[in-house]
Structure 1
Amino acid sequence: MGELILCGGGNAEQSDSINQYFAETINKKKPLLYIPIAGDPSFRPYQSSFEYIKSMFAPYGIIDIAMWTNLQSKTLEDLQSFSAVYISGGSAKRLINTFTPAGFDHILKQYINDGGTVYGQSAGAMIFGQKIVHLEGDEDEEVNGMDMVHPYSFYCHYNENDDAAIQNYVLKSKHSAVALSEGGALNVSDKGTSVVGDGPVYLFDGNTKFNEF
């Protein structure tokens, strides 16, 4: 397995230490792939998001970045030309519902299993869980994720006010949830799991909230 960096969201300043870790991990001689399609292009055009991402990563020496907004006919060989994949936030359901019909979920899994690095922020992190977790509004139904960190699901933009809702979700669904705060990330590789960044990361399991990984 390669490496997953699963971030709870936040702005560039909040994510500084995570971005620094990411930049030190990848081969900057190869381009980075950016996938913005969790976002709503009617709210923020993909090109605007691309310019933001380029400005965010430039201070870390990540200059060569390509963007994909159409995943049809993409192959594992295409992915392997990149140093890593960065997937930004928005709607996790939109993201997985784009990946699956294109078969990109299977290609991305293979890329990771073959040693690739993926940095997912917010929705880009949530898709790697067993389920895509929404705790309120019209999105309370469960949607299957890519299940790359079994048996966990991921909840992003966490703060302590979410504890009761997450606990209810865990008890109802009978599987564990990892709560990722803004500026916090869970690093997953064949070496195990660890917390990256300055924001806290918690595991909700049964009736218990843990902060150990």
Structure 2
Amino acid sequence: MKNLILAGGGSEKDSKPLDKLLVSLIPMNKKLLYIPVAMEPSKYPSCLKWFTSTFTCLGLTDIVMLTDLKEKIDLSQFGAIYMGGGNTFKLLHELRHSGFVTKLKKFLNMGGIIYGGSAGAIVLGKDIKTAFMDENRIGIRDTSGLNLVEGCSIWCHYKKEDDMKIFEYIGTNKIPVIALTERSGLYVRDKKIKVVGFEPIYVFTKNRKRVFRPKALVKL
């Protein structure tokens, strides 16, 4: 069982179709776990304020923020885990260093939903070097992501001007790329990938770029 939502990294208005989808999928008796650790700790309070405001407007109020991934927490009380944006290298380091990657995969296998926004989406892909705007301050050498999106890497905040960088990335790393604009995203259920949002997503392979519009099923 695999339930993933990936957002391209826009504002709450940009991601509203994806946020509404998340709310519709969470069972009534379950909470939403928010993980902001891609951001700096000083920003956690403002992150929570923004996050709570966004989802309260959609009717979801039972929200818990987790900032220490080593903390013992019963994930069975949650219907979904939301990993927010920030520095992708910091997020991957936090997930690995704490052992939370194993917990995430177990949560997925138990039927839970994982939502990744921007950095949170990129770590769900095969490799995080697509986060070309982020500084690798932690010095991560192994940039392997969780590889939950059919062997593809994820590129967020996509603009047409990024095409050359994406093809260069593919040439170097031999990994296909799914590029998400700030107004687009994906819903991944097992091996089925559907476009959700206001704009298309783009699938890049060697020398090829394909467009998939909202509501379309992505063929890799």
Q: State the TM-score, normalized to the length of structure 2.
A: 0.89
Deviations 1:98-153 (A, max 9, x none): 11111100110111122110111000000011100233675597611111123101
Taking the aligned partners of 2:107 and 2:2, their CA distance within structure 1 comes to: 8
Aligned residues: 209
Confirm whether residue 47 of structure 1 aligns to residue 83 of structure 2: no
Taking the aligned partners of 1:119 and 1:136, their CA distance within structure 2 comes to: 21
Deviates more, 1:148-157 or 1:21-30: 21-30
Deviations 1:62-120 (A, max 9, x none): 11100000011436xx1111011111100111011011111100110111122110111
Taking the aligned partners of 1:210 and 1:148, their CA distance within structure 2 comes to: 21
Taking the aligned partners of 1:193 and 1:125, their CA distance within structure 2 comes to: 14
Report the CA distance shift for 1:37/1:137 in structure 2 as closer, same or farther (over 3 A).
Answer: closer
Taking the aligned partners of 1:137 and 1:194, their CA distance within structure 2 comes to: 27
Deviations 1:10-64 (A, max 9, x none): 001111111111111111332110000001234xx21111011000011211111
Runs of 4+ in 1 over 4 A off after TM superposition: 136-142
- Residue 33 of structure 2 corresponds to 33
- Residue 215 of structure 2 corresponds to none
- Residue 135 of structure 1 corresponds to 132
SS at match of 1:94: helix
Deviates more, 1:78-87 or 1:128-137: 128-137
Which segments of 5 or more consecutive residues in structure 1 lack a partner in the other structure?
A: none
Taking the aligned partners of 1:138 and 1:33, their CA distance within structure 2 comes to: 26
Q: CA deviation at 1:190?
A: 2.0
SS at match of 1:70: coil
SS at match of 2:34: strand
What percentage of residue pairs aligned between the two structures are identical? 37
Q: 1:91 aligns with which of 87, 93, 117?
A: 87
1:12-31 residue pairs with structure 2 within 5 A? 12-31=12-31
- Residue 161 of structure 1 corresponds to 161
Deviates more, 1:133-142 or 1:91-100: 133-142
C-alpha contact 1:71 1:104 (8 A) present in aligned 2: yes
What is the one-letter code of the residue matched to 1:99? Answer: L
1:1-20 residue pairs with structure 2 within 5 A? 1-20=1-20
SS at match of 1:144: coil
Q: State the TM-score, normalized to the length of structure 1.
A: 0.92
Which segments of 5 or more consecutive residues in structure 2 lack a partner in the other structure?
A: 213-217
Q: CA deviation at 1:199?
A: 2.5
Report the CA distance shift for 1:113/1:145 in structure 2 as closer, same or farther (over 3 A).
Answer: same
C-alpha contact 1:28 1:62 (8 A) present in aligned 2: no
SS at match of 1:60: coil
Report the CA distance shift for 1:116/1:138 in structure 2 as closer, same or farther (over 3 A).
Answer: closer
- Residue 71 of structure 1 corresponds to 69
Report the CA distance shift for 1:2/1:115 in structure 2 as closer, same or farther (over 3 A).
Answer: farther
Confirm whether residue 197 of structure 1 aligns to residue 194 of structure 2: no
1:93-112 residue pairs with structure 2 within 5 A? 93-112=89-108
Q: 2:112 aligns with which of 106, 116, 119?
A: 116
Report the CA distance shift for 1:142/1:163 in structure 2 as closer, same or farther (over 3 A).
Answer: farther
C-alpha contact 1:130 1:149 (8 A) present in aligned 2: yes
